[in-house]
A and B are shown apart, each in its own frame.
Chain A
């Protein structure tokens, strides 16, 4: 019979934050020795609750997936239970489907997670074999030095995480930046989910607007929620459920009245711009009622046309915030915006009709959206609108103009820097970025292309899996494999030779077109398999790390257990290599290079955190980002509510920032926000995209599911998640499926001029005719195999969402999928 243990009164307790999505829900970790569980009597368990009776709804419950037995390095075994924190104002004691399973991601030698990397691996010519740290560092560092000395810094390439939460954080990001930017000095750097080193929201930065402007509280205070290219129920779940939904249900009227005395308030309305009818749409309707939900099911890539059309209506009806525009923005940019983005010199009817045609919507829908966003409330008060966007815009038609258009709309309507408003990306993962400046320029160089051209001699992949997630993924993997194989031969031939000889052989192989590949990760993923040196990293819970969530809430995510075997924190891995490089360059009598690798002598995680802190304007009071005055001790005291960055020290006290731009200042030389005009209201598809659209029948949209985090690096090992979607799916419209003889559960092949992928068909009303939707980055079917390498030239961000392909049935439902439900995933009632 199932039974879960109850923590005893003296169980160790830790406050922590989930490792997964941007929301960063607060959790409490209970840890106690194996033999000494608590009991159901209220005085016998750490909760003080009577478990001899069933707990009520919303009460405390230890489910099997919240529990794990872990083994620390000294052999001692402990129960660990991880439950959502009732006192954390991010999630109010709720767990999402992902966070609830945190305990199931913990390493245990008798659980599926036992396949964690626990020792360094070296390629011995035939295969990867366990090695000692000193051997891995010796070989890796010497090859890097040889490449640096012979070919220069840019020949050392990297693709590393830059995010917070699991696998990231301020400490690890700082070390990565110091190693590759001020240490090696390479420009051949790329970020986990794109082929270059760039912001995903350059346009917001150029406008002087922060990427995360609001607090989650603002979702409770807004009159209108405007969600573009995102599905928060599925992917920012507790932000939606704990903040947006109460507002939609009319449950935040008290808070609104207290915040806005004298202003008319009502339950919020929500506008969702998404080609799919997602669970977010269905649950919004269930929460708010259909008359308060406007779902705009746009044609792919037409967001800019929609956003500019809404703005044009607002200007036409004189709903724009004249005072804000005059005082807080640069006038000449506004004039340019009116002319080129909003086409004010053209008659509005014609403008709107064209926008309707491009977007596949009606003029009435566009006008309704404008009204919900900008029309004044009773008594003339400005309508408070919270504008949010994510990958639909970021990886949409043209990253730069996409973001510019929504930022411009927000500025036009004065919806930033005041309660109940904001212009913010929703975020996928958490943040925690601090690095020395990237030595390259903008647009950043395309590393995938550099790899294809054979310019990179040494490539280091850290905490990401490009074989599954990059565009033209199959070609990317082929490149790694073929160029890596040339080095394999050199390693095999010098298997027992002294290190200098090995390195010489490797350099010869590099001259012949080979590439030396290093990798660091927690699992031996599809990408790691191609490395010559694999370095085992510690994960969330095994090392102290700090990060911020979607409202910049900074918290400490403490170490509460040991990493498997010899795995160490990412920052510690890079420090070992840096110290070795310094030693090698000193032996070379090259102090210039040796000094680039100084100051990696951190002893603890906090050392790195404090070192990084000084880079924010010298630990002064930076208005954009920083955590002046923050220490781990302060974060422990603040618990799961943390402090919101940027943190400034005022009269000796660290003070957080609830809302960006509340002082009316923006990050431009003038201090005023800039409108970013586009040359025209809608740029249209690039030639490469138009060509693909002509050749292939279906638009292959792609994105995430509610259950599965990223490339399923944890979830593929955990039955609850893996068994839900053992085969990645493709959503198809019923008419389209019928026309191809496809039923739900059938295996299909999706192919275009870039590649081929297999998926299982889900027939659903979520997608319009001609549209489909695939799961992104999945191990058994990577959408990346279909995505072309076309990028927005101004930002080097791929149009990941812009794929067209043909589909054909190849077989019936596979046995492995027999137990997974084919029921639609967008039903709320």
Chain B
């Protein structure tokens, strides 16, 4: 288990002159409610159904050292807060979407199954994240796509960055189970 401390992003991380738009500002400006749907593949989706990626920003968290990660040996961590277990895996095959590090083989996902929130387990011999509750399975080499099961969303993927020998969690793509927004 990596030694974890959740750090708030310092104000100086924002580029000078960046206009910080709050959610309230957006509602006032456009007069419509905000709902965050993942609509990347829908052409021409109207503003009323998407949220621009605005602040508050996700925290940055150092979660592991690249050299310590062994293929198919997952590392657990909490991100973006202590109620959100997540799992980091170095896959044997590179080129995974959202992957970082050597051959882009390191990926991270929320551990909470998007069916009913049970913790999924990585099964190395299957190369899948499988939930023990109702057996939904997710493919870590395909952005957490559900292979088969009763969830209706891919497992949220942790956005990662490698700086030097460290792997950082820097964001989440997809809504985590049990939350109306990822940052509570």
Contact = CB atoms under 8 A, between A and B. Distances in A.
Given A719-B42, A723-B41, A819-B143, A95 B117 contact: no
B92 to A, nearest CB: 14
B42 A112 contact: yes
A780 B46 CA distance: 29
Contact of A719 (B41, B53, B137): B41
Contact of A3 (B35, B45, B126): B35
Contacts of B38: 2, 64
Contacts of B34: 3, 5
A67 B37 contact: yes
**Residue among A65, A79, A233, A828 facing the most chain B CB atoms (10 A cut-off):** A828
A15 interface: no
B51 A3 contact: yes
Contacts of A237: 150
Interface stretch (B4-12, B66-74, B100-108, B170-178): B170-178
B1 interface: no
A5 B33 contact: yes
B179 A55 contact: yes
Contact of B49 (A53, A69, A94): A69
A40 B44 CA distance: 30
Contact of B175 (A2, A57, A723, A819): A2
Contact of B35 (A79, A100, A101, A723): A79
B183 interface: yes
A66 to B, nearest CB: 8
B51 A79 contact: no
B143 A64 contact: no
B154 to A, nearest CB: 8
Interface in B1-53: 31-38, 41-42, 44-46, 48-49, 51, 53
A688 interface: no
B83 A53 contact: yes
A756 interface: no
A51 B36 contact: no
A2 B117 CA distance: 17
A43 to B, nearest CB: 16
**Residue among A1, A34, A36, A720 facing the most chain B CB atoms (10 A cut-off):** A1
Contacts of B54: 1
A682 B42 CA distance: 53
Interface string B92-126: 00000100000000000000101111100001001
Nearest to A93: B116
B178 A111 contact: no
A821 B134 contact: no
Contacts of A56: 117, 178
A821 B139 contact: yes
Interface string B127-169: 1101001110101011101111111111000000000000000
Contacts of B45: 110-111
A4 interface: yes
A593 B61 CA distance: 79
A734 interface: no
B178 A97 contact: no
B84 interface: yes
Nearest to A282: B135
Nearest to A96: B150
B180 A51 contact: yes
Interface in A26-79: 34-37, 40, 51-59, 61-67, 69, 77, 79
A61 B152 contact: no
A821 B144 CA distance: 9
A34 B152 contact: no
B182 interface: yes
B181 interface: yes
A58 B134 CA distance: 12
A241 B134 contact: yes
A193 B175 CA distance: 38
A63 B117 contact: no
A827 interface: yes
Given A55-B117, A112-B42, A821-B147, A827 B128 contact: yes
Given A67-B37, A79-B33, A819-B145, A97 B151 contact: yes
Nearest to B183: A1
B148 A101 contact: no
Contact of A54 (B58, B84, B154): B84
Given A54-B83, A69-B48, A821-B142, A64 B37 contact: yes
- Chain B interface size range: 35 or more
A3 B180 contact: yes
B155 to A, nearest CB: 12
A254 to B, nearest CB: 21
A219 B34 CA distance: 44
A724 B154 CA distance: 10
**Residue among A55, A110, A233, A821 facing the most chain B CB atoms (10 A cut-off):** A821
Contact of B130 (A2, A34, A828): A828
Given A96-B150, A110-B46, A828-B135, A1 B179 contact: no
Given A1-B183, A2-B182, A112-B42, A819 B142 contact: yes
A34 B37 contact: no
A828 B38 CA distance: 28
A97 B146 contact: yes
A5 B48 contact: no
Contacts of A36: 33
Nearest to B46: A110
B88 to A, nearest CB: 20
**Residue among A37, A97, A826 facing the most chain B CB atoms (10 A cut-off):** A97
Contacts of B114: 63
A95 B150 contact: yes
Contacts of A824: 147
A641 interface: no
Contacts of B175: 2-4, 63-64
A6 interface: yes
A823 interface: yes
Given A54-B84, A58-B116, A64 B147 contact: no
A279 B148 contact: yes
A450 interface: no
A2 B181 CA distance: 6
A32 to B, nearest CB: 10
Nearest to A6: B180
26 contacts: A1-B36, A2-B175, A3-B181, A4-B181, A5-B33, A5-B35, A6-B180, A34-B48, A35-B33, A36-B33, A40-B184, A55-B178, A55-B179, A57-B177, A63-B153, A63-B175, A64-B153, A77-B48, A110-B44, A110-B48, A720-B152, A724-B145, A819-B143, A821-B142, A823-B147, A826-B148
User: Considering the complex of A and B, which 7 residue pairs feature the smallest CB-CB distances, nearest first?
Assistant: A55-B178, A3-B36, A100-B152, A57-B117, A2-B36, A821-B139, A110-B46
Given A1-B54, A79-B33, 9 more contacts: A2-B36, A35-B32, A51-B180, A54-B83, A57-B117, A64-B35, A95-B150, A241-B134, A827-B147
